[in-house]
Structure 1
Amino acid sequence: MDHFESWKDLLNPEFYIQLGGFWLILFIIFAETGLFIGFFLPGDSLLFISGIYAVDIISTTFGSTGSDFLDTTILATAVALAAVIGNEIGYWFGYKSGPMLYEKKDTFLFKKKYLFKAHDFFEDHGTVAVILARFLPIVRTFAPIVAGIVKMDKKKFFLHNIIGAVAWSYILIFAGHYLDKLFMDQFDIDLKKKLELIIIVIVLVTTLPIVIKFFFTKDKERPTQD
C-alpha cells in the first residue's frame, strides 16, 4: 500500500506508515492535539502498529542501531516529544482564545459537544486528566485546550503533559513491538498479517467507552448565554 486509494485509507495506520514513515507518524501525533482537528486520525492503533514496524521505520529513516530495543526507544521518544509539543500548543491556544471556541459554530471537523465533554472529564479528574486523556481518543484532542481555558498552572500542565506523553507512547509502541515478537516466537503468528483485526480490537477497546459516555449519558446542563 504506497498510495491513496480511498477515504478508508485515512483510518488505516499502516497507510501512514507506508506513505510517510517516521516523519508522518510524528506529524499525526502532533496534529491530534496541536491542531485540535486531528481527533479522527488514528492514534492508539498507529502507535501500536508503529511498534510492530519500529525497526523498519528507524532503519529506513536513520539507519538501525543494531538493537531492537534502542530502535524502538528512539521511535517512542520521538513520538513522546511530538505529543508533548502538540499538547503545549493546544494549551496555548486554549489559554489565548479558549472562550472563542464556545462561541464557534459546529463544523465537520469541530464539534462543540466534544469540548464540553473534555471539560467535564477535566473537572471530574482534575490535573491528572492531562495524563489520563492521552489514552482516550477525542478527549486527548481537547483536554489541553480545556486546560488552557481553565488557566491550569503552566508548570503543572507541562509536568503532567510529559508524564502522559511518555507513558502513552512507550506503552503502546513497546507493546506493539514485543507482542509481535512474542506471538511470532511462541505461536508462529505474524501480527503484520493480522493488522486489520488488531486495528478493530484497539479501536473498540479505546473508543467504546468514549462512545458510550458521549452519546448515551446525559449531558450536564449548560448555562445559556445572553
Structure 2
Amino acid sequence: MHDLAFNPLSANGYLSSLGAFGVFLVLFAETGLLIGFFLPGDSLLFTAGLLCTTSASGSVHLNLGAVLPAAAAGALLGAQAGYWLGKRGGRTLLARSSNKHLQRGVDRAEEILDQYGHGKAIVLARFIPVVRTVLNPLAGILEVPTRTFAIWQAAGGLVWSIGVTLAGYALGSSIPSIDKYLLPIIAVIVVVSLIPLALEIFRSRRDGEGKRSEG
C-alpha cells in the first residue's frame, strides 16, 4: 500500500495516502490543469465510493460525508480554473504541448462543441477522459460566456462526480464483506474506466486513417 501511494496512475494510492483530500486534488488537477489529463478521475471516484463501504478497521476506509463534498469541489473548482487559464493564455499552452493524447483530446473537444453546442458539450465532456481536461480551457479560449460555462459545468460536474461516487458506494453496499474482494474489484474498475479512453484513441486513429486515404 505504501508503494501505491507514489503511483500517479493509482486511484487507490491517492485514496490510501490522502483520503478525501486526494479526491479533491486529483479532480481539480484533472479538470483544471492540462498536465492532469492522465489522472484516474473515473476510477478514483468509483473506488472512493467503494471504500466508503469497507469496515472501519480495514486498510482503507473513507467517509461518504467527506468524499462527496471533496469530489464536487474538485470537479467544479477545477473546471473553473481551467476555463480561467484558457481565457488568460490557454491557446499558447495547448500549442506548446506535443503530447498526442492531449492534442487528440483538443480535436475531440472541438468536435463536441461544434456538434452539441456549449451546454451539452460541457456536460458530455465530463464523462470522456482527456476531453474533460481540455474542454474547460478550450471553452475559455473560444470565449464561451462565463455564466453559460459556469451553469453547465456545475451541472455536469455534480452529476459526474457525485453520480460515479454513489455508483461505487451502491456496489460496495450490495456486496457483503466487500473488503475480501477489494483488489479484484478495483482492478475491474480500472479496466472499465479505460474503455472510453481506448474508444476515443481508436476513433481518432480511424478518422486519421480515413483522412489520409481520402488525400
TM-score category (smaller protein) = 0.7 to 0.9
Change (3 A) 1:105 1:22: closer
User: 1: CA distance between counterparts of 2:187 and 2:8?
Assistant: 14
CA contact (8 A) 1:76 1:173 kept: yes
CA contact (8 A) 1:44 1:202 kept: yes
TM-score, normalising length: structure 1:
0.79
User: 1: CA distance between counterparts of 2:166 and 2:85?
Assistant: 31
CA contact (8 A) 2:11 2:44 kept: yes
Give the structure 1 partner of residue 149 of structure 2.
157
Pick the aligned partner of 2:194 from 203, 215, 219.
203
Q: In structure 2, the residue corresponding to 1:37 is in which secondary structure?
A: helix
Give the structure 1 partner of residue 51 of structure 2.
53
Give the structure 1 partner of residue 131 of structure 2.
139
Change (3 A) 1:203 1:102: closer
TM-aligned CA deviation for residue 58 of structure 1:
10
Q: 1:19 corresponds to which letter in structure 2?
A: S
User: 2: CA distance between counterparts of 1:169 and 1:73?
Assistant: 14
Q: 1:81 corresponds to which letter in structure 2?
A: A
Structure 2 matches for 1:5-154, cutoff 5 A? 9-54=7-52, 71-101=63-93, 103-106=95-98, 111-127=102-118, 128-154=120-146
Q: In structure 2, the residue corresponding to 1:151 is in which secondary structure?
A: coil
User: What are the Cα deviations for residues 159-198 of structure 1, in whole angstroms up to 9, with x where unaligned?
Assistant: 001101110011110010111111338xx89541422122
Stretches of structure 1 lacking an aligned partner (at least 5 in a row): 65-70, 222-226
TM-aligned CA deviation for residue 120 of structure 1:
1.9
User: What are the Cα deviations for residues 13-43 of structure 1, in whole angstroms up to 9, with x where unaligned?
Assistant: 1111112211122111100022211111101
Q: 1:145 corresponds to which letter in structure 2?
A: P
Give the structure 2 partner of residue 184 of structure 1.
176
User: 1: CA distance between counterparts of 2:56 and 2:125?
Assistant: 28
Q: 2:207 corresponds to which letter in structure 1?
A: T
User: 2: CA distance between counterparts of 1:131 and 1:152?
Assistant: 14
User: 2: CA distance between counterparts of 1:12 and 1:155?
Assistant: 35
1:217 maps onto 2:207 in alignment: yes
Indicate the percent of aligned positions where both proteins have the same amino acid.
Answer: 28
Stretches of structure 2 lacking an aligned partner (at least 5 in a row): none
CA contact (8 A) 2:9 2:39 kept: yes
Q: 1:3 corresponds to which letter in structure 2?
A: D
Q: In structure 1, the residue corresponding to 2:69 is in which secondary structure?
A: helix
Change (3 A) 1:113 1:101: farther
User: 2: CA distance between counterparts of 1:91 and 1:58?
Assistant: 39
CA contact (8 A) 2:68 2:162 kept: yes
Computed over aligned residues only, the root mean square deviation of the Cα atoms, in angstroms, reads: 3.1
User: 2: CA distance between counterparts of 1:57 and 1:135?
Assistant: 30
CA contact (8 A) 1:80 1:169 kept: yes
TM-score, normalising length: structure 2:
0.83
TM-aligned CA deviation for residue 100 of structure 1:
1.8
TM-aligned CA deviation for residue 214 of structure 1:
2.4
Change (3 A) 1:202 1:149: same
Give the structure 2 partner of residue 224 of structure 1.
none
